[in-house]
Amino acid sequence: MLSRASLGAATAMALLFTGSALAETITIATVNNGDMIRMQGYTDDFTAKTGHTVEWVTLEENVLRQRVTTDITTKGGQFDIMTIGMYETPIWGANGWLIPLDDLSAEYDVDDILPAMRGGLSHDGTLYAAPFYGESSMVMYRTDLMAAAGLEMPDAPTWEFIAEAARAMTDRENDINGVCLRGKAGWGEGGAFITVTANSFGARWFDEDWNAQFDQPEWAEALNFFVGLMADAGPPGYSTNGFNENLSLFQQGKCGMWIDATVAASFVTNPNDSTVADKVGFALAPDTGLGKRSNWLWAWALAIPAGTQKEAAAKEFIEWATSKEYIELVAKNEGWANVPPGARTSLYENPEYQKVPFAQMTLDSINAADPTNPTVKPVPYVGIQFVAIPEFAGIATEVSQEFSAAYAGQQTVEEALEKAQALTNDAMEAAGYR
């Protein structure tokens, strides 16, 4: 009897002290894209290693954003890990809504995270989300059409060259557009693209006192350039084209150039989906010689909401999913072109990965982006294609709607800029910035 009681007590003590090692079920909210879905397929590997099981809630990007924002602001506690981006992370970290990731294990090697990604996912030097994959934007172009136009794409082109090449490659009779760019309304769609384009023309969203800058000549120059270029060499109806529409056009051989997210490189070079897979070249996003390129920086990252009851298991998952071992696991099973890009320095030092045609240009594009110093003139904000303040998503959506209306010919560029200026200043005044 005594020995049975002792055994029971010993088991209870062991369970008490190894509480963190108990198998848990964690719930993860994530976005629907190729890399995230691939990760879900490897969940068994994580379960085998740790004993923890995972429940996935996969949602479309905009639905996910609304869902996790509601959950974290109402302390709903439905998720143990949330997939969030560079826009949300510093704001939520500053509000104390996320658990700091400052005690990751030595094997995890946090210093291996690309500095641009680590900086964008931190607040006051503390990391709040671990990047699962990162991206910038770059030029993807048809090498055959470029050669036929008698031109050669430099590694770091200017907007002037892009415009010249786009007009030369345009062949309306054969349904080939010189350049396909985002015009669709939405802060993360056309809004992101025109913001980085404007950055390269010397424009900025706000001056140091949070006054809107749409009345400045740089914005007019950038927007008029964009509208003129797209009228001459863009696809019809580009004001409603976002990432997917342009991807579809490019894969069907209807674009000479496409400037968009670096993750698209693996799509357009995949012969199963793309008709031009073997004719694609890459270059840095263009500039105007002012010192800023028109490329953005983004990461989908994993964060732990404050208040979760399963912090230890959630951290174990994040360490597994964003580790070097996970990258090797994917590479072993699906090839190096399919590993999540843009998060770790060691990936780009790997000789096998260096053979992937878009690897170096992706790294160069990410390194060319600086969220803390995004514009030619000084600004009071962090973020390249966004301004990391809570009000930005709402304001930028409205601004991009005005711009899209100008692209569609429903109003002039001047009218769109005038409205953007007024609505931005009104919103910033209401929010107490001015």
* 55 part of the interface to another protein, by CB under 8 A: yes
Q: Does 243 bind another protein (CB under 8 A)?
A: yes
Backbone angles phi, psi at 177, to 5 degrees: -100, 135
Handedness of CA 364, 365, 371, 376 (dihedral sign): positive
Closest separation in Å from C-beta 48 to another protein: 19
Does 100 contact another protein by CB under 8 A?
no
Q: Which of 31, 229, 347, 361 binds another protein (CB under 8 A)?
A: 31
Q: Given the complex with another protein, which of 56 and 433 has the nearer CB atom?
A: 56
Query: Which of 42, 50, 57, 431 forms a contact with another protein (CB under 8 A)?
Result: 57
Q: State the burial class of residue 27 (Cβ atoms within 10 Å of its Cβ: 0-12, 13-18, 19+).
A: middle
Q: Which residues from 333-362 bind another protein, rule CB under 8 A?
A: none
Q: Is 33 in the site for another protein (CB under 8 A)?
A: yes
Count the site residues for another protein by CB under 8 A.
44
User: Using CA atoms, how far apart are residues 286 and 246, in angstroms rounded to an integer?
Assistant: 18
Work out whether 251 is an interface residue with another protein (CB under 8 A).
yes
Which neighbouring-strand residues pair with 58?
30
Scan residues 64-93 and list those touching another protein (CB under 8 A). Answer: 66-67, 70, 73-79
Neighbours of 333 (CB within 10 A): 11
Continuous H helices in 149-201: 159-169, 190-200
Give the DSSP H or E segment for 138.
strand 130-142
Write b or e for each residue in 109-148: b if 16 or more Cβ atoms lie within 10 A of its Cβ, otherwise e: ebeebbebbbbbbbbeeebbbbbbbbbbbbbbbbeebbee
Separation between Cα atoms, residue 38 and residue 289, nearest integer Å: 40
Question: Comparing C-alpha atoms, which of 88, 101, 75, 82 is closest to residue 28?
Answer: 82
DSSP 300: E
Pick the stretch among 52-60, 89-97, 140-148, 422-430 that binds another protein (CB under 8 A): 52-60
Binding mask 165-204 for another protein (x = CB under 8 A): -----------------------xx---------------
Closer residue to another protein in complex, CB, 79/92: 79
The footprint of another protein on residues 266-305 (CB under 8 A) is: 267, 272-275
* Ranges within 384-403 binding another protein (CB under 8 A): none
Tell me which residues touch another protein (CB under 8 A).
27, 29, 31-34, 37, 40, 55-63, 66-67, 70, 73-79, 188-189, 242-244, 247-248, 251-252, 254, 261, 263, 267, 272-275
